[in-house]
Amino acid sequence: MRSLFLFAFLTILALPAMSQTTSAILKQQAGEGVKQGANAVTQKAGDKATDKLLSKIFDRKSKTASKSKEDNNTAALPQNNPGKTNEGNTQELKTYSKFDFLPGDKVLAYDDFSKDQVGDFPASWNTNGTGEVVNAGGKEGHWLMMTKQGKYIPEYIHTLPDNFTFEYDMICNDKFSYYSPALSIYFLTGKNNKGVFENAFIGGDKRSGVRVSLHPTGGLNNAGEGNTESFDNGESALKNEVNTTQFRSASGMKSVHVSVWRQKQRLRVYLNEEKIFDLPRAFPDSKTYSTALFEISGDMKDQDRYLLGNIKFAVGLPDTRSKLMTEGKFVTSGILFDVNSDRIKPQSYGILKDIASVLSENSSLNVKIVGHTDTDGSAPDNLNLSKRRAEAVKASLMKDFGIDASRLQTDGKGASQPIDNNATTEGKANNRRVEFIKL
């Protein structure tokens, strides 16, 4: 019993010391926590504030992001009913009912930045500013992000034919500042080389051509802005500015498909389905055009970003009527589909409408619609996908344009009949095509 009392007495005496020790430990741990927290805050402060603000839009985390392409056939293919797929797309296609854009019939350049490492500037471009390849949240593939003043040159373009089309997708961030400059694209005479980096390259070299500028924020935030200017021997010859609801950051329209169409002197520019410019004398006559470049002309606000993707440069004026009636075949890479899907993209409306017009005006003309893919993916999957896409085109011609089903047959060849080199992105873009064969 005496031992028990002694133990209890010693324990009571030790409690203050234990409490003091525990308190010291807790204080030490708390201090370490504060220190670690301070280090974390310091590290975060070293990050770009813009990256934190845009983390929901732009993803730069992965250096091994999967390759992007418009028609990546390597994933499992959804077994969609082509009729249903097209029916669900009918309303979206009809929003493009006034869209008369016809892409060139041969792809000269296709750039989805799939060969470029995330975080690097694209190897086939040049700049006097800065930019890097990124992933964009909710968007397929790789994109070129531009945040600084500068010129950005796709060096694979060496000539601009009399008839060409130039398409690209463009993204900006939410709440894009009115005070950040527009993103411009130029098509000019002269060489597409480092000479364009001169500040006065238009006036100094007496270049001719056109500039098209797009900005997602108007003065009152109620619309975006499109601007165009023509140059003749270095002098401004024609300019105009329009409002657009297709590219308007304040209302959530942060991405837009841009389609530019040159026919000799004539220039047409479309944002999604809206034609914002149709200028019959935009390009000064009797000149050779060779330069294509993008430009941010001033300082960007810290949070603001432009992203470019899916650049497609094609040549030639589609002659649907002549090729179907005389040659017996019309081939187009202008009918586009969602990735791994038979769902037709709405910007295909113009070419579908053109084909439907030929069929409507020639009631005795029957055609076989044949789908083709590139070589990415397995042969069975490619064959399946090509057949379903041909069926989707048939369904659209029937439902959207009233062509009788008895006049349309379908088939698919997968990747078995390439017309170009599948080792290049341009070749793959040409191989992803739809053929219409006269019966």
- Reported as a pLDDT band with limits 50, 70 and 90, residue 85 is very low
pLDDT at 163 over 70: yes
- Reported as a pLDDT band with limits 50, 70 and 90, residue 192 is confident
pLDDT at 92 over 50: yes
pLDDT at 415 over 50: yes
Quick: pLDDT tens for 8-53.
Answer: 444 444 444 444 443 443 344 444 443 444 444 333 443 444 444 4
CATH 2.60.120.200 fits 58-76+106-315, yes or no: yes
pLDDT at 57 over 60: no
- Reported as a pLDDT band with limits 50, 70 and 90, residue 340 is confident
pLDDT at 81 over 60: no
Residue whose token pair is 């029957």: 366
What integer pLDDT is reported at residue 67 of this predicted model? 39
| DSSP classification of residue 253 | B
Mean pLDDT value across residues 93-122: 90
Domains of the chain by residue range: 58-76+106-315, 320-438
What integer pLDDT is reported at residue 138 of this predicted model? 78
What integer pLDDT is reported at residue 257 of this predicted model? 95
What integer pLDDT is reported at residue 125 of this predicted model? 96
Quick: pLDDT tens for 259-280.
Answer: 999 999 999 999 998 999 999 9
Mean pLDDT value across residues 101-118: 93
User: What CATH number matches the domain at 320-438, 3.40.50.2300, 3.30.70.890, 3.30.1330.60, 3.30.420.10?
Assistant: 3.30.1330.60
| Average pLDDT over the chain, rounded to an integer | 82
This prediction has a pTM of 0.79
